Chain A
Amino acid sequence: MADTKNTFLEVKDLVVQYTSAGEVIHAVNGISLQLERGQTLALVGETGAGKTTIGKSIMRILPDRSASIKSGSIFLEGQDLLQLSEIDMRKVRGARISMVFQDPMTALNPTMKIGNQISEVIKIHNEVSKAEAKKQAISILELVGITAERYDAYPHQFSGGMKQRVIVAMALACSPELLLADEPTTALDVTIQAQILEMIYALRDKSKMAMILITHDLGIVAQAADTLAVIYAGEILEYGTKEAIFKDPSHPYTMGLFKAIPNLTSDSRRLANIEGLPPDPTVLPAGCCFHPRCPYAQEECRSIKPELEVISPGHDCRCTRSSEIKQEVANVF
């Protein structure tokens, strides 16, 4: 992917580690991403791949004591967020970049009225009176489908789906330029999922907001994303436009992910899956990080770490055997 000076968001070689009980957890190992204004990038991967850590690193809300951003840069319109002072970063959080979290049940302050939690973020970033902030909060609530009279309600009086609406309202209250949505519907019922997603897409389209959508659901990626990055063990294995990757998944892991989607029209006894488990982040494998689970792994995969290579315009892949593997697969069928 070409990186231009006008890129809205650029993450360069981000490395993030956690320390816990004396052990070092390599959560993010050299991630680079680009995002244009108004575009949606999906980060796809299994639980624990490092997707949430990337999101939190962009916001710089990683837990101080255990996490640290070891190296890399995050440019928002040319300005490196990692170099900003904490005070300046606070001006960015909530106003230019917002985040919607995964678990709506615990993301809201249980002892504060939801309306106040929204007007709070408005007041911090804008010079408005309390009354004005409340007015704006009410209009955002209505935008997400919550009536004004529920302004004074407490979080426990809402269902999961409604809570998530409140959280989305909170995130969008100051019209951010970038929204980080971390599996916003994973914790919700399937029927509610669709509603919430529709709402998020509509709000995004209205304000031409850029979005990073963290998900493990390829269906959502198909619906919402322009570009996607497949993340595994803190690295990007495949990166490109949605069309390119969906038409031509090139990394064995991506292929595995697509094959795992149940086919509605055929009648198979067992679902295909990827054998094994993600690696222990304290002891990452040598060579390609996916080799222990890769059915096509060879000697070189176990020792040489592959680079992210362009395999066609708008499509990168981190696998030295990618074209060979595609040949093999084509030959079988």
Chain B
Amino acid sequence: MADKNAAATVAAPVKTSKTQSELGAAMARLRKNKSAMIGLGLFLFLALLAILAPYISPYGYATMNPAEKFQLPSVRHWFGTDEYGRDVFSRILYGGRYSLSVGLLATAFAMCVGVIIGATAGYYGGQIDNIIMRFLDIFQAIPMMLLTIVISAALGSGFDKTIFALAISHVPDFARTLRASIMSMRDMEYIEAAEAIGCGTFRQIVKYILPNSFAPLLVTATMNVANTVLLTASLSYIGLGIQPPTPEWGAMLSAAKGFIRNYPYLLIFPGLFIATTVLGLNMFGDGLRDALDPRLKD
């Protein structure tokens, strides 16, 4: 049988410029996004300041000096001093450690738990999914701030308790993201194909589903860190969260409120730093979302 197809001639390989994987292409798009890179830079810079706080802050965060209280920004005290004569700049640097670490840890925690819950719901579907979704519905029926306040009120204030409270209220977000991811993929043919060749459930999840859910999870995580930093500040502001003398930025604002009439400068820096951190994260998160789904960009 003159089978042309069996001939050894293979057509000249078609040259493509896109030999990268999809993820690689997405990373390339991300790197080109100026706004996202600036955002990432901002966040990393602030994180660096926080990490290096013990080494670069001119004073300790609790060092009081009543003689120098309420000083406006000067060469000696870049951001001025507060009501106890403490150097605001140093307090801001140290405060970053709390504000940022609470955000990152709470999100990491929430992600781990949320992923497990979402995966279970998404993969097994049916009754299990129904029950889990009802629980999540109840969770999300309470405005997040209120929920966090309730949990925080129950647990008490403090660094680790606040992380816990924030983590719990963010679990539904991750659970839903992963569940949506899984459900959309469950029906895709390559999962059916994997099942058809005898690929077990666990292997399917690990090898196929998780890598492809990675992208939306990352976006959710970034937005969540931004959200948690804001929430932490709000909690500390109203008296929960992390309290003075710990220099958490929200707590500093709470203290500064009492002096708003006479010493308004005390309000500027903590708020500015919160805003900048969250802005950086949001810019990066936006860029991440655009990079992973470029159709929406233009």
Contact = CB atoms under 8 A, between A and B. Distances in A.
Direct contact of A and B (CB under 8 A): yes
B15 interface: yes
Given A21-B294, A280-B17, A292 B12 contact: yes
Nearest to B1: A269
Interface in B9-37: 9-12, 14-17, 29
A23 B14 contact: no
Judged by DSSP, the binding face of A is: loop
A276 B294 CA distance: 28
A189 interface: no
Interface in B128-166: none
A310 interface: no
A282 B17 contact: yes
B5 A273 contact: yes
B298 A65 contact: yes
Query: Which of B3, B4, B12, B16 counts the most A-chain CB atoms under 10 A from its CB?
Result: B12
A123 B10 CA distance: 57
Contact of A292 (B11, B16, B17, B294): B11
Contacts of B10: 275
Contacts of B9: 275, 295
A23 B17 CA distance: 10
Contacts of B1: 269
Contacts of A65: 298
Given A21-B294, A65-B298, A293-B11, A272 B16 contact: no
Q: How large is the interface on A (under 10, 10 to 19, 20 to 34, 35 or more residues)?
A: 20 to 34
A283 interface: yes
Given A270-B3, A272-B5, A295-B9, A277 B14 contact: yes
A273 B11 CA distance: 12
A245 to B, nearest CB: 22
A272 B4 contact: yes
Contacts of B3: 269-270
Contacts of B29: 21
Contacts of A306: none
A279 interface: yes
Nearest to A280: B16
B3 to A, nearest CB: 7
Contacts of A277: 14
Contacts of B5: 270, 272-273, 275
Nearest to A273: B5
A21 B31 CA distance: 13
A277 B11 CA distance: 9
A283 B12 contact: no
B14 A280 contact: yes
A142 to B, nearest CB: 39
Interface string A289-305: 00111010000000000
Contacts of A272: 4-5
A283 B15 CA distance: 8
Query: Which of A21, A282, A283, A295 counts the most B-chain CB atoms under 10 A from its CB?
Result: A21
Contacts of A280: 14-17
Nearest to B15: A283
A66 B295 CA distance: 12
A47 to B, nearest CB: 15
Contacts of A275: 5, 9-11
A275 B11 CA distance: 6
A276 B14 contact: yes
Contacts of A283: 15-17
Nearest to B9: A295
A278 B11 CA distance: 11
Interface in A226-279: 269-270, 272-273, 275-279
Contacts of B15: 280, 283
Contacts of B17: 23, 280, 282-283
A159 to B, nearest CB: 21
A270 B1 CA distance: 11
Interface string A48-74: 000000000000000001100000000
A10 B78 CA distance: 74
B17 to A, nearest CB: 6
A276 B4 contact: no
Interface in B269-298: 294, 298
15 contacts: A66-B298, A269-B1, A272-B5, A273-B5, A275-B10, A275-B11, A276-B11, A276-B12, A276-B14, A279-B14, A280-B15, A283-B15, A283-B16, A293-B11, A295-B4
Interface of B: 1, 3-5, 9-12, 14-17, 29, 294, 298
